[in-house]
Chain A
Amino acid sequence: MDEKEKNTGIKLEYEIIKDDFSRAGEASSNIKRVLRQLGIDSSVIRKTAIATYEAEINVVIHSEGGKMVVNIEPDKIEITAKDNGPGIKDIDQAMQKGFSTASQKVRELGFGAGMGLPNMKRSCDEFYIESEFGKGTTVKMIFKL
């Protein structure tokens, strides 16, 4: 975990570990804490909490691990979740509500409803997703302040 302040804003960086359900949500909780300390509007905090949680869970469940980077600037919060693969075959399909490739075991825990990506998209002001099958996925979300 790396927290450093720049002239332009604050950058937070979190490692997310594959299959680590016990720690899943910690990065999101930390981000929320920082945003609250900065006095960010509570409706924006709620939206970022939903989006970061879903992004974090997606990396834990579906990827080989990755990281989440948060840039807090005076006029916006930019959140990037980048994983190390395996990538998404069909992004349009992945963006559909209810579509999921999660295992039965994961579903029994209440995950894998196929709502992660739609929830992220709905929560932020700008949403970008790039994925290369075999390589990895990057999701970028912007929240205006």
Chain B
Amino acid sequence: MLIKDLRDKFGFKVLAGEDVLDREINGLYCCDLLSWVMSHAKDGDAWITVQTHMNIVAIASLLNLACVIVPESIDVDEDTIVKANEEEVPILSTDIDSFKIFTKFYEAGMR
């Protein structure tokens, strides 16, 4: 699955990282405790989080995560979007919740 599939197939909105949507997504991870994410998320994971401050960009970048997915249409700080574009970390937004995001990935064939 590619990051752009989230936009093209799931209808997620791209908030940042428009130029790097051709990257592969290898897995899906959901957690809001940043140190927990730091020690458990894997290379290439799409990361669902309700945290929207700038630090999520550093984490995604340091761990080589595929992208950040913000659920339930939570507003993302403008600073975060600017930083994400600088660091080429895609951020996508959707109105659905984490459970439904997992369901979509599963239905799209991710196991």
Contacts and interface: CB of A to CB of B under 8 A. Distances in A.
Given A21-B55, A24-B55, A29-B62, A110 B39 contact: no
Contacts of A115: 33, 35-36, 38-39
Interface string B19-46: 0000000000000111110110001000
Interface in B26-79: 32-36, 38-39, 43, 49, 51, 53-55, 57-59, 61-64, 79
Interface in A96-145: 109-111, 113-116, 119, 122
Contacts of B59: 25, 53
B58 A25 contact: yes
A29 B51 CA distance: 19
A29 B39 contact: no
Interface residues of A, number: 23
A21 B77 CA distance: 13
A119 B39 CA distance: 7
A49 interface: yes
B87 interface: yes
A8 interface: no
B32 A110 contact: yes
Nearest to B58: A25
Given A109-B51, A109-B55, A110-B33, A28 B62 contact: yes
A50 B59 CA distance: 9
Contacts of A110: 32-34, 49, 51, 55
B36 A53 contact: no
B54 A21 contact: yes
B39 A50 contact: yes
A57 B54 CA distance: 13
A32 interface: yes
Contact of A113 (B33, B54, B58): B33
Interface string A24-35: 111011001000
A22 B54 contact: yes
Interface in A57-110: 57, 109-110
Given A25-B62, A28-B58, A28-B62, 6 more contacts: A29-B58, A57-B34, A111-B34, A115-B35, A119-B39, A122-B39
